[in-house]
A and B are shown apart, each in its own frame.
Chain A
């Protein structure tokens, strides 16, 4: 029996429905009682915004001009973010599934049930039979609490978080090269760089407000080199576009370093004094002259040479990358090959000379610092380090022998569900039915669980498969901190009380712990108390928050960690003294060889499929696919096809086609555009069920970071003989893009 008996009925009841006006409608006659300064709930720019409150409802926003990162700017998701707080789809009471239908219950009944079932499963199969899956759109306090809840509350080793699907290859690469996982420079350095290398980052659509800094750099006479298989708006606006085949970054970056070595544009003094393993890296790139890289990547050799000379000859420059190079089975190697460029030219640790990953989720940085990651403890400490374990157990007052071993990554956790090792599951702040690779297998995992709990404020595609859904809060209904992509810790402020009986996530998790007899570790009355323990737990670690306070954050417009003491004002730029975070204080080169993606096009599946985002949707779309304005701009996913390929397959623009991979298939309207490579197709991934791009993607993982290969798999396109246009034909504007929405 399926856990989702009647999909149409669930959608009818819980949405996504479209909602597009403030509470009480659009009205110029507002009596604003409160203006609450806070930040956007979406991406890792964490733009400042003011929420306008009337009668305990968020009814609008006002630009927050005084916050230095965005100075009032917002993307369309940020502008419309407030519309989710009073959305009619909000979950207002706990839901328990009975005979396949969700029934509203009281909190005590739901929480007692969760505790009883978890206890039963653990008694029968052992502590590790419960898996926890958390997220990085939570405040750092909540992410800290989730790590503690797994280890000290449930005593399970299996916890991981959705940053695993985000920038974890960058984190692993940063740790290998620098001994610390953080962007090295503040964004204020970007305008000071002569040359920017932007690899696999569609900044225009995924970090729109970051473009403020990019264009300031341009106004100063700067140059952008953009590495991307598609001509994204960022690639179009750039000076040099290296339009490579998906997954061939190592070849391009190695060839750039090859040219830099041949032209003697390296910084020999920096290499000698501040790094290790240069010879191995130099020898490795010897094998990648531009002609070889051109053969592998499809980027003309002269463009690679031009890029290398531009970056190599510039006095200042920054390398930035995002999911495009990280979402690969070679994700960590891709990252390391670009870091080699930074180290070889010594462009690090000074104004306008730097490096950074552009973290995706709002709290992608903070969410990977304090222990909700499978192998991690607070302060970027390691589950594998006995000293680190001792420190954290002391802070928690937990006997050391009770601290479980390190867990596994989320995709591996879903494998363990299918293998029957994980029987009970709790997820918070994620939506695996949209965002995990190979959706059909993910569904199997969820269907096989004995007991599945989901905490969310909307019924996500994954929550539909839960036995209990507990209503949590949006960002406007609780307080706490997040760290943006620069590691700037900012403060989210509470604007209104949660609607109905919805409760803050930290309260829910603590109530479960209390009912399982672990209440003594969970005595927090508010986020500030959690933050105070987090500060102590992180003390002395790489991500040292000890000197950060809510007050200091407000006073300074954010504090960039490490901030070890109360007098310390934070650390905007790392490595200024030429010292890195490895024991010998040196950075490390890595000799990287090119390996193709795990699946490359062949006769049966002749096209490379890559996936990504659109500016109107955020991650799995659970929040943004309910906002009318955003859905109107992009109602459903499509497949980008080059006109040459379309002509060969006799496909017209707008025609629905079937896209097939070894894992599954889906039907998408064709968007025939010259902005993609002829050998590559692209589908945005924000939708679920039959519209999920992840029905097709390859769940193969990077061996180090365990990130799935979302950005490259093999696929084919089949013509279906139906010429209906997608948007103007069947689907009228203003209707939900959801799987079924009949009779409207």
Chain B
């Protein structure tokens, strides 16, 4: 069976080692393609990594007017082809996971290609290599899933859209698919003077890691 990524959020310690190591990948040297977010720092220290899920029918490719986003034979969704990328940022806006980044200097979309430079030589991607806890793991389904108490899920329902992905989320659930609708979205805390706020440290992360634009 093919090797892929397994994202196990309950193990994430929020160290952003993956974010730092992602910059070492030769295809986007110096730029990180990973996000690690606090879920709600006011309430909990819980964090969650987001990497490209490598959809079987990638929304980013579907919305690309120039057909610049290709999938390789292993089902890995590659960065936009430089000669074709039109600078339109459709992919950045359309991705249901919020993954692709736009490099305003190079006028180019960039995204995780699962460390193609490494995997093609039999090495694990950088993020999965360095992750201290196994919150991001790389291997075959048979290697990873039997070791875990969490269950693999790779079907995500966003409203009317169902997205299946090459990358698995490892979750404490028996459901085969997860629903990511509007409900349960964080609506902010009420501060002393009654204004709703998000913890400044969450906002800071958004300013640094989570920016979709370089």
Which residues from chain A sit less than 8 Å from chain B, CB to CB? 21, 25-28, 60-61, 63, 65, 72-76, 78-80, 204-205, 208-212, 214-215, 218-219, 231-234, 236-237, 615-616, 629, 632-633, 638, 643, 646-647, 650-654, 669, 671-675, 725-728, 733
Instruction: Give every chain B residue within 8 A of A79 (Cβ-Cβ).
Output: 17, 20-21, 24, 130
- What residues on A are CB-neighbors of B14 within 8 Å? 204, 233, 615
B189 interfacial by beta-carbon distance below 8 Å: yes
What's the minimum C-beta distance from A380 to chain B, rounded to whole angstroms?
31
User: Which of B41-49, B78-86, B160-168, B176-184 lines the interface with chain A?
Assistant: B41-49
Neighbouring A residues of B133 by C-beta, 8 Å? 208, 211-212, 214-215
Q: Which residues of B contact A653 (CB under 8 A)?
A: 42, 189, 191, 197, 199-200
Q: Provide the bound-state CA to CA distance between A61 and B42, in Å.
A: 35
Question: Which residues, 12 to 29 on B, are CB-close (under 8 Å) to A?
Answer: 13-17, 19-21, 23-24, 26-27, 29
Q: Roughly how many angstroms separate A79 CA and B126 CA in the complex, as a whole number?
A: 10
Q: How far is the CA of A727 from the CA of B207 in the complex (A)?
A: 10
Q: Are B30 and A654 in contact (CB under 8 A)?
A: no
Query: Are A675's CB and B44's CB within 8 A?
Result: yes
Please pick, from A25, A633, A673, the residue contacting B42 in the complex, using a CB distance under 8 A: A673
A70 to chain B, nearest CB (A): 8
For A671, list chain B residues within 8 Å (CB): 41, 199-201
15 contacts between A and B (CB under 8 A): A60-B24, A72-B124, A72-B130, A76-B16, A204-B15, A215-B133, A219-B149, A233-B46, A234-B13, A237-B13, A633-B208, A653-B191, A653-B200, A728-B203, A728-B207
Instruction: Give the residue among A76, A615, A671 with the most B Cβ atoms within 10 A.
Output: A76
Interface residues on B, range: 35 or more
The residue from A78, A233, A643 contacting B13, defined by CB atoms under 8 A apart: A233
A73 in contact with B147 given A633-B16, A652-B193 (CB within 8 Å): no
Task: Return chain A residues, CB-CB under 8 Å to B149.
Answer: 218-219
Residue of B nearest to A629 (CB): B20
Asked whether, in the complex, the Cβ of B15 is within 8 Å of the Cβ of A615, the reply is: yes
Other-chain residue from B10, B129, B132, B200 in contact with A654 (beta carbon distance below 8 A): B200
Could you tell me if A27 and B29 are in contact, using CB atoms closer than 8 angstroms? yes
Residues of B within 8 A of A632 (CB): 208
Q: Which residue of A lies closest to B36 (CB)?
A: A633
B44 proximity list for chain A (CB < 8 A): 231, 236, 674-675
Within 8 A of A (CB), among B176-214: 189, 191-193, 197, 199-201, 203-204, 207-208
When C-beta atoms are compared, the residue in chain A nearest to B146 turns out to be A219
Q: Are B207 and A733 in contact (CB under 8 A)?
A: yes
Residue of A nearest to B43 (CB): A674
- Within 8 Å by CB of A80, from B20, B43, B47, B193, lies B20
Select B19's contact among A76, A209, A211, A218, beta carbons within 8 Å. Answer: A76
Complex: A335 Cα to B90 Cα, angstroms: 58
* Residues of chain A contacted by B26 (CB below 8 angstroms): 28
Complex contact B208–A74 (CB within 8 A): no
Q: Report whether A231 and B45 are in contact in the complex, using a CB–CB cutoff of 8 Å.
A: yes
Contacts of A651 in B (CB 8 A): 192
Give complex CA distance A726, B10 in Å: 30
* Top 9 closest pairs, chain A to chain B, by CB: A26-B30, A204-B13, A654-B200, A208-B132, A79-B20, A63-B129, A28-B26, A26-B29, A211-B133
Nearest chain A CB to B28 CB, angstrom units: 9
Pick the residue among B13, B15, B41, B129 that contacts A673 (CB under 8 A): B41
- Answer yes or no: B11 CB below 8 A from chain A CBs: yes
Is residue B107 within 8 Å, beta carbon to beta carbon, of the partner chain?
no
Taking the closest CB of chain A, its distance from the CB of B44, in whole angstroms, is 6
User: A79 to B131, alpha carbons, bound, how many Å?
Assistant: 10
Residues in A with CB closer than 8 Å to B41 are 671, 673
Output the residue of B11, B15, B29 with the most chain A CB within 10 A.
B15
Main secondary structure of the interface of B (DSSP, over half): loop
Q: B168 to nearest A CB, angstroms?
A: 16
A74 to B132, CA, bound (A): 6
- Chain B nearest CB, measured from A388 CB (Å): 40
Residues of chain A within 8 A of B16, CB atoms compared = 76, 615-616, 633
Cβ-based interface call for B75 (8 A)? no
Q: Is residue B134 contacting chain A, with contact meaning CB distance below 8 A? A: yes
A173 vs B36: C-alpha distance when bound (angstroms) = 39
- Pair B132/A237 contact, Cβ less than 8 Å: no
User: Which of B23, B133, B148, B192 has its CB near the most chain A CB atoms (within 10 A)?
Assistant: B133
Q: How far is the CA of A142 from the CA of B129 in the complex (A)?
A: 32
B15/A726 in contact, CB under 8 A? no
Bound-complex Cα distance A236 to B44 (A): 8
On chain B, the residues within 8 Å of A727 by CB distance are 200-201, 203-204, 207
- The residue of chain A having its C-beta at the shortest distance from the C-beta of B14 within the complex is A233
Set of chain B residues within 8 Å of A74, measured between Cβ atoms: 17, 21, 130, 132
- Per-residue A-contact encoding for B121-161, CB less than 8 Å = 1, 0 else: 00010100111111000000000000111000000000000
Closest B residue to A675 by beta carbon equals B45
Q: How far is the CB of B46 from chain A (nearest CB, A)?
A: 6
Other A-B pairs, 8, CB within 8 Å; known A73-B129, A653-B42: A21-B30, A79-B17, A629-B20, A643-B42, A652-B197, A672-B199, A727-B204, A728-B200
Q: What chain B residues lie within 8 Å of A215 (beta carbons)? A: 11, 133-134
Query: Could you tell me the distance between the alpha carbons of A646 and B17 in the complex, rounded to whole angstroms?
Result: 32
Complex Cα gap A218–B170 (Å): 15
In the assembled complex, which residues on chain B have CB atoms less than 8 Å from the CB atom of A643? 42
Q: Which of chain B's residues has its CB closest to A63's CB?
A: B129
Q: Check A26/B23 contact, CB under 8 A, given A73-B129, A74-B130.
A: yes
Measured between beta carbons, the chain A residues less than 8 angstroms from B192 are 646-647, 650-652
Find chain B residues with CB under 8 A from A674 CB: 42-44
Q: Which residue in chain B gives the minimum CB-CB distance to A211? A: B133
Residue of A whose beta carbon sits closest to that of B193 = A652
Closest CB in chain B relative to A714 CB, distance in Å: 25
Complexed CA–CA distance, A616 and B16 (Å) = 9
Q: From residue 21 to 77 of chain B, which have CB atoms closer than 8 A to chain A?
A: 21, 23-24, 26-27, 29-30, 41-47
> Nearest chain A CB to B16's CB is how many angstroms away?
5
Contact partner, A73, options B27, B131, B200, B201, Cβ 8 Å = B131
Residues of B near A733 (CB, < 8 A) are 204, 207-208
Distance in angstroms between the alpha carbons of A335 and B151 in the assembled complex: 39
Identify which of B19, B130, B199 gathers the most chain A CB atoms within 10 Å of its CB.
Answer: B130
Q: Do B45 and A232 touch across chains, with their CB atoms under 8 A apart?
A: yes
Report the bound CA distance from A671 to B10 in whole Å. 23
Whether A211 and B191, one on each chain, are in contact in the complex, defined by CB atoms closer than 8 angstroms, is: no
Smallest CB separation, A662 vs chain B (Å):
28
Which residue of A27, A72, A237, A652 is within 8 Å of B11 (Cβ)?
Answer: A237
Complex: A616 Cα to B47 Cα, angstroms:
15
B17→A28 contact, CB < 8 A: no
Residues of B within 8 A of A60 (CB): 24
Given the known inter-chain contacts A74-B130, A672-B42, please indicate yes or no for A219 contacting B148, CB distance below 8 A: yes
Residues of A within 8 A of B126 (CB): 63
Q: How far does the alpha carbon of A638 sit from the alpha carbon of B199 in the complex, in Å?
A: 13
Which residues of the other chain, B, contact A726 by a CB distance below 8 angstroms? 200
CB nearest neighbor in B for A670: B200
* Residue of chain B at shortest CB distance from A632: B208
Closest residue of chain B to A723, judged by CB?
A: B193
> Do A652 and B191 touch across chains, with their CB atoms under 8 A apart?
yes
B134-A669 in contact (CB<8A): no
B19–A673 CB distance below 8 A:
no
Give the Cβ gap from A623 to chain B, nearest Cβ, in Å.
15
Residues on the B chain within 8 Å of A218, using CB: 149
Q: In whole angstroms, what is the CA distance A205 to B45 when docked?
A: 11
Question: Which of B10, B17, B42 makes the CB contact (< 8 A) with A75?
Answer: B17
B130 & A63 in contact (Cβ 8 Å cutoff): yes
The CA of A78 and the CA of B26, in the complex, are separated in Å by: 19
